[in-house]
């Protein structure tokens, strides 16, 4: 399963979900690969890498046509294709290139031909740029984290349009998953969750709102400072319990295919 984690709204929990979902999938014994598509390199740093010291990043693969060269992380079964600030220039550098949306997809197919990964997660920047499009084209699913704010669902229109257009123009038909993050069971949050289910949960159309709700939990904000997923940093925290449950849901949906 290849899952792009995207939302053009910033700070909704994309990176937190990328690190901790891949961390739990790895802990469950699956081989997992996290690809950092964001020049802020939060996933790279959150897994304990110093973005200033990397000899290889995703930028090299995208601009020089590969290959993808995953690094081992301190977490068993979890590998990382890292990013650093170089990637900030990639959007512009790729803009004139033929087939620019398909570069990553080709590289990933080549990697998966020789190396087995059960799950590949792609952490995107907060924008619907050519890097996010590359991730979408390389994936079979998109996971959209949503902070339960009043306007969160209206803000989705643009992303849903990009997904519809990608289907028509790029031939990518992605399963859609929506995840409520930073949930705190207030009336507002309950209402937004309910509305998300009404509007977005359509299993027959491959659009699913996860049952798992990710609570607001300080351990989730602390773990990346230590360079660790929550499964190792604070395995008994409420955030850890929630991301483990999310991983189980993802495995269940994957098995349905």
Q: How far is the CB of 123 from Mg ion (least distance, A)?
A: 6
* Sole binder of ligand ATP in the list 1, 4, 15, 213 (CB under 6 A): 15
| Region near ligand ATP per CB under 6 A, out of 65-73, 198-206, 211-219, 248-256 | 211-219
Write the interaction track for ligand ATP spanning residues 41-80; mark x where CB under 6 A is met and - where it is not. Answer: -x--------------------------------------
14 binds ligand ATP (CB under 6 A): yes
126 binds ligand ATP (CB under 6 A): yes
Can you tell me the distance from the alpha carbon of 7 to that of 11, in angstroms, rounded to the nearest whole number? 9
* Sole binder of Mg ion in the list 15, 39, 73, 217 (CB under 5 A): 15
Minimum CB distance to Mg ion smaller for 106 or for 219: 219
| Region near ligand ATP per CB under 6 A, out of 8-16, 83-91, 101-109, 204-212 | 8-16
Can you tell me the distance from the alpha carbon of 105 to that of 153, in angstroms, rounded to the nearest whole number? 29
- Please name the residues in contact with 188: beta carbons below 8 A apart, sequence gap of 6 or more: 148, 149, 150
SS3 of 80, please?
strand
Q: How many residues does the chain have?
A: 257
Tokens of 40: 């802020």
* Sole binder of ligand ATP in the list 182, 192, 209, 228 (CB under 6 A): 182
87 binds Mg ion (CB under 5 A): no
Are the C-beta atoms of 230 and 220 separated by less than 8 Å?
yes
Tokens of 147: 């902070």
Can you tell me the distance from the alpha carbon of 20 to that of 257, in angstroms, rounded to the nearest whole number? 23
How would you classify the pairing of strands 32-36 and 119-123?
A: parallel
The binding site for ligand ATP (CB under 6 A) comprises 10-16, 38, 42, 126, 181-182, 214, 216-217, 220-221, 239
The binding site for Mg ion (CB under 5 A) comprises 14-15, 42
């Amino acid at each position: 399963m290849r899952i792009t984690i995207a939302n053009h709204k910033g700070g909704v929990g994309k990176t937190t979900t990328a690190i901790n979902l891949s961390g739990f999938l790895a802990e469950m014994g699956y081989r997992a690969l996290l690809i950092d598509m964001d020049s802020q390199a939060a996933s790279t740093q959150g897994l304990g890498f110093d973005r200033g010291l990397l000899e290889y990043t995703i930028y090299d693969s995208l601009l020089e046509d590969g290959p993808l060269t995953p690094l081992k992380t301190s977490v068993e079964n979890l590998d990382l294709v890292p990013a650093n600030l170089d990637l900030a220039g990639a959007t512009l550098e790729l803009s004139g290139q033929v087939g620019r949306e398909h570069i990553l997809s080709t590289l990933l197919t080549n990697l998966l031909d020789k190396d087995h990964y059960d799950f590949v997660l792609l952490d995107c920047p907060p924008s619907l740029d050519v890097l996010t499009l590359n991730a979408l084209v390389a994936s079979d699913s998109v996971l959209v984290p949503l902070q339960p704010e009043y306007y969160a669902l209206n803000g989705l229109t643009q992303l849903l349009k990009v997904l519809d257009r990608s289907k028509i123009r790029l031939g990518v038909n992605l399963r859609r998953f929506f995840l409520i993050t930073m949930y705190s069971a207030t009336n507002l949050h309950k209402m937004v969750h309910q509305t998300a289910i009404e509007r977005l949960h359509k299993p027959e159309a491959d659009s699913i709102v996860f049952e798992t709700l990710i609570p607001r939990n300080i351990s989730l904000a602390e773990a990346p400072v230590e360079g660790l997923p929550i499964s190792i940093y604070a395995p008994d925290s409420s955030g850890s319990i929630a991301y483990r449950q999310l991983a189980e849901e993802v495995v269940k949906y994957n098995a349905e295919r």
